Each structure stands twice: as structure tokens, then as C-alpha cells.
Structure 1
Amino acid sequence: MDRLTSMAVFTKVVATGSFSKAGRELGLSPAGVSNHIRALEEWLGAQLIHRTTRRLSLTEAGEALHERCARILEEVEGAEAATGALQEAPRGRLKISAPITFGMRHLAPVIADYLLAYPGVAVDVALNDRKVDLLEEGFDVAVRIGELPDSSLAARRVATSRSVLCASPAYVERHGAPGEPAELERHECLEYAYRATPGQWRFSGPDGEEVSVRIRGRLTSTNGELLRVAALRGLGISVAPTFIVGEDLVAGRLVPLMPRYAPAELGVHAVYPQGRHLPAKVRSFIDFLVSHFGQEPAWDAWARGGAAAPAHAARAGRAGRAGRQKERRR
């Protein structure tokens, strides 16, 4: 048998933990998979896998071989990619992970356009606000928003999204608009559960200094769209990314607050497993994202409108002062 193919079968068995699953992914029967493993064991003169009815485990020889096989196969794949990169058209199945709201609002049309542009690629999309394990779960690329933790993954910034402190005009009319971060402690705040600093919001002040404040509120969620709906209904103040609330700011359904204090910008990144040669389907998709979103994404149109944001902020400030005056009269 071809030893390189047998190595590939062996690494797939280790990755899936099953002869039958490896066979299904490779288009082989369980007997075919067994034949490849047996051929390797006969060639090396050592048992590679302990196999029981419940699970598979590697022998010491199997562990040593698996480490080397992974490097050999990566080198072979890299050589193939390097020699065929100039003429290779993207093809195969591309597995993508993305956050739910961003995926529905902004990624869906990009993926549709990508499929039209690259008929040789099939796409599987999983929308989930948790951070998936790309290697463990077999994803080719993930769209992630916010700070990236240190990891073995490679990343490319594809866009930027501002964050904005905002509330509905009705909320501001009832409760007033905070002028300083410390005033947020007296307000109902809508909290995103996956924030890096739970229960705390951070801002960049007028002189560039970092200001943090503890916040409270009755609603916490892992999904930004749910918090947007709550803000529109006047349930509280939100620090929201503009890719979620940009249209609401333009329409005046939400108004920006505390214009002198800015929440941190959010980076929109494509992350993918490191490798010397990026598969054409992954490279082309990331390039497609960058070209689509560009330097100034559409969701920040409210800020480019110039007078729109200050006007909303001024109305919020007037409503806030009026609200506080009503409280004093009572």
C-alpha cells in the first residue's frame, strides 16, 4: 500500500477516535481503514493502536508515529499548495464559524456573494456566540469580534466596529442621560455576558485616560441582538457594537450618550489554523471579507453622518436635564 496514504488514514483515525468515522470522512470502508493501519504496523514492526469496544488509544509507538506523520503530511500538503497556488481555483468544503448576530446581519450576504463568485466551493456555516475550538471541531475559519486571546491560531483583521453607549429616547426621557461614567451606577445597564470584564464598563476619557465603572442591571445575555431589543424597548443603557445598532442610531431609535467618553473599538478578525500554505478556499474567503467590508464598514455610517451623532447626543442631553429637573420638582 501507499505509505503516505496509510499515514493519512492513521492520522484521521487518531483525529476522529474511530475507524468507522475515519472511513466515512475518507470514503473508505472500516475494513479498508484497518488494512492501512495493519500495513503500517507490519512495516514498522510495532502495534500502533489499542482497540477496545469502547475507545481507541495509542501505544507509545503510535504516539511517536502520529507526531511525525502530522509533520510529514503538512509538508506534503504545503508542497502541493506551493506548486499549485498560482493556478489553483478555490474548491472543496469550507467550514465557517461566526457569532449569531454578526452572521445574520452582515456575514450572510457576503457568503451568498462568495458562493456565486466561487462555484467550486461548498460552505458549512455554524452561527454560535461561544468561541469554538477550530482544531477540535474541524473549522477552517472563524469570524471573531473583540480582543483575541493568545493562541496557536493565525488571525487577520477584516474590519473594525465602534462601540457606543446608547439608550432609547424613551429611557432618557424617563431617567435622564448620564454625563459622566460614575453616573452609570445609578442607571439600569444591559450587560453582555461574554464581555472580558463582567460587571464593568471601560471608556477612554477626553484626555485619553482609561475610566472604568461598575454597572448593575436586571438583564444579562450572551446575545447582542437580544440586548438591542431591550434597549429599543427602553429597558436600559447598553454598550453596543455599531454593527448591531448602527441603523438604529441613524434612525434615532437609539441615541448615543456621554460623547466625551468612548468605549473601545472592536476588531473583526478572521482566525484560522496556522500553516505554511493557506488553502485557496480559506485565503479567498478571507480576502473576500476584507474587500467587502473595506476601511469604513457600512455599520458606522451614523458616525460619518457628521451632524447626526451630535444632534442625537444633544437631544439626549436636553432630555436628561429635563428628566432630572422633573425629579427635583417632585
Structure 2
Amino acid sequence: MLNSADIQFLLAIRKSASLLATAHTLGLTPSAVTQRLQQLEKKLGIQLIDRSARQLRFTDEGELLCRRGAGIIDQFDDLLEELHALRHGMVGKIAINAPFGFGRRYVASVVAAFRQRHPDVEIRMTLSDQPLVASSDRFDLVVHIGELRDSSLISHHIAPNRRMLCASPAFIQSHGLPGHPEDLAKLPTIALHENNEDVSLWQFRQRRTTVNIRTQPALISNDGDVIREWATEGLGIILRSEWDVAESLARGTLVQLLPDWKPPDANVVALTHQSAGLPERIRTFMRMMQEQFRPHCPWRLSKVERTQRD
């Protein structure tokens, strides 16, 4: 089977105009060049060069192969350049999947800023309550919050994030403050349903003690804004990410419960299908996401800092 190296070899002969000069150009011995030419002609079953003449002369078949082959090599080089541009340049497409609330509040602004800087990159962002479940293989990058279970995807840290147990002052006045995680089993709770997780099983840790509590959610939604609003209205206790409830805690519309008992952290990560060989456009987008949470995450700013930022 003829390959690109064979065509390039034949083109080198035509450019050098002699087998001796070709040997010098390619750093081979004259006998090696002659042997390779014979092998190529044998492989094709065609004589490519008339070596009986005083000057090197290509046969009609050899001329055809050089002429058409040169075009093929040019197309191949163009293809490699395009692949290189996609790998290292800011062209191509990025398909992103992110959770509803976090995607609206933080990812969308990065997409807008990235697009302004790199207008040749096309971005498709999908917001979902199941970013891991919803065909993650169709996306170049998946934004995920929380523990990553049984996934072949590669995790890239974006920002730290804790989970917090919260309720409104009105709820506390009506039901009292829980003194232990076990009290939650008897109190109205509100759950967020995402990624097909067990939304009624809550875990807490204090020093070396871990407690798993099976709650009985009175309300369940797949939208974090909705359950936060329900909690603000005094309808139950929520277990939510600090990025989502930090402003409510600062305003006093929600109060943190059981601060000495720590739920598992829910760090923000970006998931990709591979760790090495990521296109530059994807690596640059992830860096821009990371930069917006440095040196401090917006949800960990003080009231004064938050006011100045706004």
C-alpha cells in the first residue's frame, strides 16, 4: 500500500534531479536510495523512473504520481495545520454542561468573557439538574459540585465549597434549634434532587464521629433556587452549598444550624474525558473559571467585601 512517505520520497528524487543528490539530501547512501526506489516500483508494479537514460527521467506513471501525490501531501499538511490550530489555537467548539444555579450565577459569565476574548470559539452551554447523568460523553467539560462517584472522567479543581445546614429564623422560632443531627429525622426538611442521588440521606461528622440521618423531606425540587426560597419562607431545613446560601446567611434570612457538625464538602470541579492532550481552548476556559474564585471565593467574602464588590 502506498503511503505519504513513499510520495515524499519520490518528490525528493524529482526535486534533486538525481539519485546521488537525493541520497545526499536524505542522508542516505546511493545504494539505499536505489534499493528503496526498486522496492517502491515493485510494490506498485510500475516503473516510475527510466534509469537507462543519461539524465534521470520520470515515466508517465511516475510524473502522474508526483503531480497528484504533491496535491495529496499539501492537503495532508493543511490537515495537520488545522489539527494543530484546534489543539493549540483558539478555534473550534466547547460543549459545557453545568448545574442550573451555579451555571447561571458563575459559569455563564465566564462563557461571556471567554467569547469576547476568543470570538472564533463556538460555545454551547447546557444547564441541567443531572450534569453527570445527562450523557456526559456528549460534553467536552462538565461542571460538578460534590462527591464524584464511580466516574471515568478526570477531575480538575475549580473552587472550594462547603455544605451547610440552614433554616429561617421563623422556622427556628416555631420548631426550635436542633441539638443533634438525629433531631433532623423528626423535623420538616427540604431536599434537592440532582444526579440521581439519595436526597434523603444526610451525613454529618464531628471529630471522629460520623452520623448518617435518614430524613423525611416534606418538599423536593430539582432547582436549588426553589428550595432555598422555600427554606427562607420557613417551610423546612435545607442542606445546601455555601455558594448558594452565603448571601442569605449574610442577610439573616437563613441561619446555619449545627455548625459543629460538618457535612461532606462539595467542592466545585470541572470534569473532562482526558487529563493530557486537552485542546488549548478547553484548558484556557478552565483557567478562566478558576481565576474568578481567586484569591477568595465570592461566597467567602465578608459583608463589607461583598458590598464593595457589588
Shorter-chain TM-score bucket reads 0.5 to 0.7
Q: Match for residue 250 of structure 2? A: 250
Measured after TM superposition, the shift of residue 221 of structure 1 is 1.7
Q: Match for residue 325 of structure 1? A: none
When Rg is computed on C-alpha atoms for both structures, the one with the higher figure is 2
Equivalent residues in 2 for 1:138-217, closer than 5 Å: 138-194=138-194, 196-205=197-206, 207-217=207-217
Q: Match for residue 119 of structure 1? A: 119
Alignment counterpart, residue 134 of structure 1, candidates 130, 133, 136:
136
In 2, Cα distance between the equivalents of 1:282 and 1:241? Answer: 26
Q: For the Cα contact (< 8 Å) 1:188–1:236, is it kept in 2?
A: yes
Q: For the Cα contact (< 8 Å) 2:85–2:91, is it kept in 1?
A: no
Q: Deviations over 1:30-89 (max 9, x none)?
A: xxxxxxxxxxxxxxxxxxxxxxxxxxxxxxxxxxxxxxxxxxxxxx9xx87996699x43
In 1, Cα distance between the equivalents of 2:139 and 2:3? Answer: 27
In 1, Cα distance between the equivalents of 2:231 and 2:260? Answer: 21
Q: Deviations over 1:169-191 (max 9, x none)?
A: 11111111111111112210111
* Structure 2 residues not aligned, in runs of 5+: 5-76, 306-310
Q: For the Cα contact (< 8 Å) 1:101–1:225, is it kept in 2?
A: yes
Q: Taking structure 2 as the reference length, what is the TM-score of the superposition?
A: 0.66
Measured after TM superposition, the shift of residue 275 of structure 1 is 6.2
Q: Match for residue 281 of structure 1? A: 281
Q: Match for residue 291 of structure 2? A: 291
In 2, Cα distance between the equivalents of 1:167 and 1:101? Answer: 19
In 1, Cα distance between the equivalents of 2:303 and 2:200? Answer: 27
Q: For the Cα contact (< 8 Å) 1:98–1:143, is it kept in 2?
A: yes
In 2, Cα distance between the equivalents of 1:97 and 1:124? Answer: 8
User: Cα gap change, 1:3/1:184 in structure 2, threshold over 3 Å: closer, same or farther?
Assistant: farther
In 1, Cα distance between the equivalents of 2:188 and 2:3? Answer: 65
Measured after TM superposition, the shift of residue 295 of structure 1 is 5.4
1:253 match: secondary structure: coil
Q: Match for residue 319 of structure 1? A: none
Q: Deviations over 1:198-232 (max 9, x none)?
A: 32211111x23211112113101222111101101
Alignment root-mean-square deviation, CA? 2.9
In 1, Cα distance between the equivalents of 2:142 and 2:304? Answer: 29
2:160 match: secondary structure: strand
Identity, in percent, stands at 31
Q: Taking structure 1 as the reference length, what is the TM-score of the superposition?
A: 0.63
Equivalent residues in 2 for 1:66-105, closer than 5 Å: 88-105=88-105
Q: Match for residue 326 of structure 1? A: none
Name segments (4+ residues, structure 1) moved above 4 Å: 79-86, 302-305
User: Cα gap change, 1:237/1:163 in structure 2, threshold over 3 Å: closer, same or farther?
Assistant: same
User: Cα gap change, 1:209/1:172 in structure 2, threshold over 3 Å: closer, same or farther?
Assistant: same
2:226 matches 1:226:
yes
Query: What is the number of equivalent residue pairs in this alignment?
Result: 227
Q: For the Cα contact (< 8 Å) 1:155–1:271, is it kept in 2?
A: yes
Q: For the Cα contact (< 8 Å) 2:165–2:237, is it kept in 1?
A: yes
1:219 match: secondary structure: strand
2:156 match: secondary structure: strand
User: Cα gap change, 1:276/1:184 in structure 2, threshold over 3 Å: closer, same or farther?
Assistant: closer
In 1, Cα distance between the equivalents of 2:232 and 2:275? Answer: 44
Q: Match for residue 19 of structure 1? A: none
Task: Give the counterpart letter for 1:134 in structure 2.
Answer: S
User: Cα gap change, 1:268/1:229 in structure 2, threshold over 3 Å: closer, same or farther?
Assistant: same
In 1, Cα distance between the equivalents of 2:272 and 2:82? Answer: 16
Q: For the Cα contact (< 8 Å) 1:162–1:300, is it kept in 2?
A: no
User: Cα gap change, 1:180/1:106 in structure 2, threshold over 3 Å: closer, same or farther?
Assistant: same
Q: Match for residue 50 of structure 1? A: none
Task: Give the counterpart letter for 1:204 in structure 2.
Answer: R
Q: Match for residue 51 of structure 2? A: none
Q: For the Cα contact (< 8 Å) 1:134–1:273, is it kept in 2?
A: no
Measured after TM superposition, the shift of residue 302 of structure 1 is 5.8
Q: For the Cα contact (< 8 Å) 2:249–2:256, is it kept in 1?
A: yes
* Structure 1 residues not aligned, in runs of 5+: 5-75, 306-330
In 2, Cα distance between the equivalents of 1:262 and 1:280? Answer: 38
1:262 match: secondary structure: coil
In 2, Cα distance between the equivalents of 1:3 and 1:121? Answer: 34
In 2, Cα distance between the equivalents of 1:258 and 1:147? Answer: 21
User: Cα gap change, 1:3/1:229 in structure 2, threshold over 3 Å: closer, same or farther?
Assistant: farther
Task: Give the counterpart letter for 1:125 in structure 2.
Answer: M
